[in-house]
Amino acid sequence: MLEDVVKKKIDETRQGEAFSSTIYHTDKSIKKFYIESYGCAMNFSDSEIVASILHQNGFGPTKNLEEASLILINTCSIREKAEQTVRKRLTDFKKLKQQNKSILIGVLGCMAERLKTKFLEEEKLVDLVIGPDAYRSLPQLIAEAGDGQKGVNVLLSREETYADIAPVRLDSNGISAFISIMRGCNNMCSFCVVPFTRGRERSRDAQSIVQEAQNLFDQGYREVTLLGQNVDSYKAPPPPKGGSWETTSSLLKENTIKKSELQSPSFGGVGEAEVVTFAQLLELVAQVNPLLRVRFSTSHPKDITDEVLYTIAEYDNICNYIHLPVQSGNTRILELMNRTYTREWYVERINRIREIIPDCGISSDVIAGFCSETEAEHQDTLSIMEYCQYNMSYMYYYSERPGTLAERKYADDVPEETKKRRLHEIVELQNKLSLQSNQNDIGKVFKVLIEGDSKRSSNDWKGRSSQNKLIVFPKNNMPLLKGGYVLVKINDCTQTTLLGEIIDQSSSYSHL
Ligand code: SAM
Ligand code: SF4
């Protein structure tokens, strides 16, 4: 029962998805690769970079395991359960390998980085082990593995951003795409393996990001999500001077970066030069076209600035939605987690968001049962969730990860049943908040970007509001296309979906 509640709530719909595209399906002469992705959006985005590297080296994607000569699994290490899922999947691949020895099997991503050569020893069938910063070496390692040598490259880099690689969009709806703006993380939250598996933080240059957004827009995409583990600490050298690169916001012009900020520990330092901040990057991407919606993830409560909030408020096409993981509502636990903010700080940030962007959708990540968490401290998490009125949360119980600060310093001493019970209470509360938030939207009108047919019926469209809420509404034989915008009035809702009707299609713009 509990498992059901948890599964339903955590958005697992894309986990293990096999990506493909139609580009090469008919060409039998081309070698095929099959790739499954697990974990966060960053991994799904990385799989598109891997696809691009393979494409340039004569491989085409397939969704059909049986026709693949290369099987890749892009892995996640964030919780033990994520790693168990991958190991189980590898045993399925084993059967294929037993039937056809020439198939190559590769493990990519965070688990590859964490386990390194251990993978070759433990999972005997694996031919390739490649960490998140080593995807450029894939073609060479594939060639070596084809000659019988096992290929391992788990070197982390301080520079790699794959900025020059145009991702091959896999199984996209043709409307929404991810753009990776930075890699790694310098934060060292005590529960988290990411700094160990993805290395030091580095920002991709702004010019290549804006160019990627422009190319996507030209191809018909109408929404981009800028991805990073901590987007607010994005800092990159400025693009070349010139009219189109100048930011226009008066607020941003008044806020050039000061020398003292350049020396902050999370920044590698570019001397006295100006840098592009996340707020400025948001503005540059928003200026690509007013019809291109801009989203981003993930924001860190210690780093999100008023500058970012004002930029969101200033541009209609920057969505009014912020994912601001709280993790815990108790200051002592936040300190043990090394989150570097207090409950009061977090609440102040939420108040500021509500002040500057009154209709902003806010979501969160929450961890139940961190080391030494008491019942009263758990209640603090519930009360901060009530205060923040999250639209949605990703909720987990604490899973100790090898090598993390918490594993080395603290006892994982909250019993599993207690962790699960607390998580259950968190999930139940979030369900209530989500339903309330949706009920509050009944009678309101939202501008919706049409993403395609609804899951349940081809007579209905599905799309999202700026606040990232899923909205379903009847097509009513109107001549609309996905990628267009319509005004939808909300008449009803469930906990996860708003249900409405089109009241104005004059705001609809076809992308074709
Ligand atoms: N960088 C983002 C941030 O700071 O919020 C999120 C990165 S992490 C991939 C996504 C979420 O996984 C975290 O926000 C946290 O809630 C959860 N998580 C990370 N490590 C965990 C652990 N050891 N046990 C349970 N949940 C964990
Ligand atoms: Fe992990 Fe913290 Fe970095 Fe997020 S900010 S990736 S939780 S270390």
* Ligand closest to the CA atom of residue 367: 1
Pocket flag, ligand 1, residue 192 (CB < 6 Å) = yes
pLDDT of the residue at 18: 60
Q: Ligand 1, closest atom to CA 298?
A: 2
Q: How far is the CA of 489 from the centre of ligand 1 (A)?
A: 35
Tell me which residues of the chain have a pLDDT lower than 50: 1-11, 22, 24, 243-273, 509-512
Strand partners, 32: 60
* Ligand closest to the CA atom of residue 401: 1
pLDDT tens per residue across span 478-504: 888 999 999 999 999 999 999 999 997
Q: How far is the CA of 340 from the centre of ligand 1 (A)?
A: 15
**Distance between first and last Cα of the chain:** 46
Pocket flag, ligand 2, residue 194 (CB < 6 Å) = yes
Does the pTM exceed 0.75? yes
Pocket flag, ligand 2, residue 327 (CB < 6 Å) = no
Pocket flag, ligand 1, residue 398 (CB < 6 Å) = yes
Pocket flag, ligand 1, residue 183 (CB < 6 Å) = no
Q: What's the angle, vertex CA 325, arms to CA 324 and CA 328, rounded to 5? A: 135
pLDDT of the residue at 117: 85
pLDDT tens per residue across span 183-241: 999 999 999 999 999 999 999 999 999 999 999 999 999 999 999 999 999 998 766 65
Pocket flag, ligand 2, residue 297 (CB < 6 Å) = no
pLDDT tens per residue across span 219-234: 999 999 999 999 999 9
pLDDT of the residue at 97: 86
If we measure between CA atoms, which residue out of 128, 207, 129, 117 comes closest to residue 161?
207
Pocket flag, ligand 1, residue 198 (CB < 6 Å) = no
pLDDT of the residue at 170: 80
Q: State the DSSP H helix or E strand holding residue 393, giving kind and residue range, or none if neither.
A: strand 392-397
**244 Cα distance to chain centroid:** 29
What's the burial of 347, exposed, middle or buried (CB within 10 Å: 0-12/13-18/19+)?
middle
Q: Ligand 1, closest atom to CA 194?
A: 9
Q: State the DSSP H helix or E strand holding residue 60, giving kind and residue range, or none if neither.
A: strand 59-61
Going through 131-175 in order, the beta strands assigned E by DSSP cover: 151-153
Q: How far is the CA of 214 from the centre of ligand 1 (A)?
A: 31
What is the Cα–Cα distance from 275 to 22, expressed in whole angstroms?
A: 40
Residue nearest atom 5 in ligand 2 by C-alpha distance: 187
pLDDT of the residue at 2: 36
- Residue 111 carries which side chain, given as an amino acid letter? M
Residue nearest atom 13 in ligand 1 by C-alpha distance: 365
What is the Cα–Cα distance from 497 to 369, expressed in whole angstroms?
A: 30
What's the burial of 173, exposed, middle or buried (CB within 10 Å: 0-12/13-18/19+)?
middle
Pair 97, 66: CB distance under 8 Å = no
Using the CB atoms, write b or e for 431-455: b if 16+ within 10 Å. Answer: bebbeebbeebeeeebbbbbbeebe
If we measure between CA atoms, which residue out of 104, 9, 36, 15 comes closest to residue 392?
9
Phi/psi of residue 473, each to 5°?
-155, 150
* Ligand closest to the CA atom of residue 227: 1
Q: What share of the chain is helix, strand, coil (3-state, %, to 5)?
A: 35, 20, 45
Q: How many helices (H) and strands (E) does the chain have?
A: 17, 22
Strand partners, 500: 490
**214 Cα distance to chain centroid:** 20
Greatest distance between any 2 Cα atoms in the chain:
65
Q: Select from 15, 74, 192, 410 the residue to mutate for testing ligand 1; criterion: most ligand atoms less than 8 Å from CB.
A: 192
Q: How far is the CA of 468 from the centre of ligand 1 (A)?
A: 21
Q: How far is the CA of 78 from the centre of ligand 2 (A)?
A: 10
Q: How far is the CA of 187 from the centre of ligand 2 (A)?
A: 6
Q: How far is the CA of 202 from the centre of ligand 1 (A)?
A: 19
Pocket flag, ligand 2, residue 74 (CB < 6 Å) = no
Q: How far is the CA of 192 from the centre of ligand 2 (A)?
A: 6
Pocket flag, ligand 1, residue 76 (CB < 6 Å) = no
Pocket flag, ligand 2, residue 339 (CB < 6 Å) = no
If we measure between CA atoms, which residue out of 402, 325, 405, 408 comes closest to residue 367?
325
Residue nearest atom 7 in ligand 1 by C-alpha distance: 229
Q: Cα separations (Å) of 258 from 261, 263, 270, 352?
A: 5, 9, 12, 23
- Token pair belonging to 264: 């902050």
- Token pair belonging to 59: 């491989």
- Residue 418 carries which side chain, given as an amino acid letter? T
If we measure between CA atoms, which residue out of 138, 154, 155 comes closest to residue 104?
138
Q: How far is the CA of 36 from the centre of ligand 2 (A)?
A: 24
pLDDT of the residue at 149: 82
- Residue 387 carries which side chain, given as an amino acid letter? Y
Beta-carbon contacts of 396 under 8 Å, excluding residues fewer than 6 positions away, are 10, 79, 365, 366, 367, 368, 423
pLDDT of the residue at 172: 75
pLDDT of the residue at 20: 58
What is the Cα–Cα distance from 3 to 204, expressed in whole angstroms?
A: 39
Pocket flag, ligand 1, residue 97 (CB < 6 Å) = no
Verify cis geometry, omega within 30 degrees of 0, for the bond prior to 85.
Answer: no
Residue nearest atom 1 in ligand 2 by C-alpha distance: 192
Pair 490, 463: CB distance under 8 Å = no
Pair 485, 470: CB distance under 8 Å = no
Q: State the DSSP H helix or E strand holding residue 450, giving kind and residue range, or none if neither.
A: strand 445-453
